[in-house]
Amino acid sequence: MEKHYLEEIVGDKIVDEKTISGGDIADSRVVTTQSGSRYFLKQGIVGDTFRKEAEGLTELARPGCIRVPEVVHAGNDFLLLEFVASGAKGPRFFEVFGRALARMHRFTGGEFGFKHDNYIGSTPQINGVEGVGRHDWSTFYWEKRLLYQFRLCEKNGYADQQLSTLFWKLETIYPHLMAGSEEPPALLHGDLWGGNYLCDLTGAPVLIDPAVYYGHREADLGMTRLFGGFSREFYTAYDQEFPLKPGVEKREPLYLLYHVFNHLNLFGYGYYDQAVDLIKRLLRGVR
């Protein structure tokens, strides 16, 4: 990204750029201007990735429930955001976060999916643009999430006989697992693990790096369980604010499976056993 172009966008002279860690895909930097303003710059990917991320952040900001970085400018090869300085988590951080997420999940859309496809990491995330499953979550999640990732596993050589046999057995019990969980399409972050939120200087939660779509809120909560990073107070506060339907525990492996499949496709066999174990848990749960 040329310095003079950034200066035109922000209307100020850039006096410092510092590379920071934290992204597996993009080059990330903090840009400081002469007036003292700071911005977060992501670059290094050519295509529509950054525009899709910007649209996701804008969508997450609509309910006004949880802070997201303001989008300054999105281009074909960069994304410029408000820089959010990190602060210390106070004793009520996760309680506040859980209630705020629950309120965000009350913000609903008319259809499942999103206005366009986007990305989960660097993998395309299919949001049902052509219409399949737009009004039926069970169909949407199977076709656009689990089956899509499984087909990628086949393409990438990870779907051996064991995984394939288990996956198609899962298909036979899938309607039973999903029965009774029906809800309106909720606004989802889409990739809500412990690395995709911050605590700002006021102690408030901030959502970053989304893979936004409208879906079942259990999908967001399932992802929070994959790598940890969320306390018991978070889940308690969420359920007090917006109680979950019975059976959420038996469905949780379904929502973990999408992300484990994605990690298998992105990072390889280290996630194979976890995918197999999740499907086995689901199969045991209906006996």
> Which amino acid is present at 122?
S
What is the rounded distance in angstroms from the CA atom of residue 69 to the CA atom of residue 75?
A: 16
What phi, psi does 17 have (nearest 5°)? -135, 130
DSSP H or E segment with residue 135: none
Choose among 53, 52, 57, 60: nearest CA to 187: 60
Q: Outline where DSSP puts E strands in 115-192.
A: 118-120, 123-125, 186-188
Angle between helices 248-267 and 147-156 in degrees, nearest 10 = 30
Q: Do the beta carbons of residue 128 and residue 113 sit within 8 Å? A: yes
What is the rounded distance in angstroms from the CA atom of residue 251 to the CA atom of residue 253?
A: 6
Q: Outline where DSSP puts E strands in 221-262.
A: none
Helix (H/G/I), strand (E/B), else coil: 170: helix
Query: Which residues are catalytically annotated?
Result: 191
> Which amino acid is present at 150?
F
What is each CA distance from 72 to 24, 66, 241, in whole angstroms?
Answer: 22, 18, 33
